[in-house]
Homo-oligomer: A and B are copies of this chain.
Amino acid sequence: MKKEKAKDRIIRTASDLFYRQGFNSTGINQIIAEADIAIGSLYNHFSSKNDLLQAYLVKEEAEWFKGFEDQIKNSNSPKDKMLALIDYRKKLQDESTFAGCHFIKIISELGDSSPVISDFVKSHKEKQKIMIREILTQYGLETKSLDIDSVAEHIFLLIEGAVVTSTIDKNADAFAYIKKIIQGLLP
């Protein structure tokens, strides 16, 4: 196994700190200390702290979809895939001890002060919605009673609600609720 490169160590450390402490509460000095790297090296790889933030979000999005593909591997029916999506969001919350969604967190912290970040997050959530619609589409023509757009939005909003609620409550109860509801929504 090759030694982890400086740049990777920086971004891994920064990601972890941004997520756990928040972006503004994480200083450059802490990042370089925990990554065991010099400040000059950091600014050699990243032009600014904001640049590092963008790299963090890009990485998280890639890992999000990769992790979901993993979760869904053994699901065949559209219904199983949708339930796997709920299990996946629940798993992410469990494993982080309910630290919340990376993307909701950063928007909550930065507001609209950085349009690049706002646009990225909006686009990320849009991708998730599209994914939900694609799963619903796999039901095929036989279930034309299914209003795909409406059901997709309903499911998406329930999941987002469950994620923020479980973050506040520090437990996964909300996921049990929405799993039951969504099972009822699907044929």
Interface residues of A, Cβ cutoff 8 Å to B: 20-22, 24-25, 99-100, 103-105, 107-113, 118, 121-122, 125, 150, 153-154, 156-162, 164-165, 167-170, 174, 177-178, 180-181
Contacts and interface: CB of A to CB of B under 8 A. Distances in A.
Contacts of A24: 22, 24-25, 109
Contacts of A167: 107-108
Contacts of A107: 100, 108, 167-168
Contact of A108 (B100, B158, B161, B178): B100
Contacts of A110: 22
A168 B163 CA distance: 15
Contacts of A113: 21, 25
B168 A104 contact: yes
A146 to B, nearest CB: 15
B161 A174 contact: no
B160 A177 contact: no
A159 B125 CA distance: 17
20 contacts: A21-B113, A24-B24, A100-B107, A100-B108, A104-B164, A108-B109, A109-B109, A112-B170, A121-B168, A122-B168, A125-B169, A156-B161, A156-B165, A157-B157, A157-B158, A157-B178, A158-B161, A160-B160, A160-B164, A164-B164
A177 B63 CA distance: 30
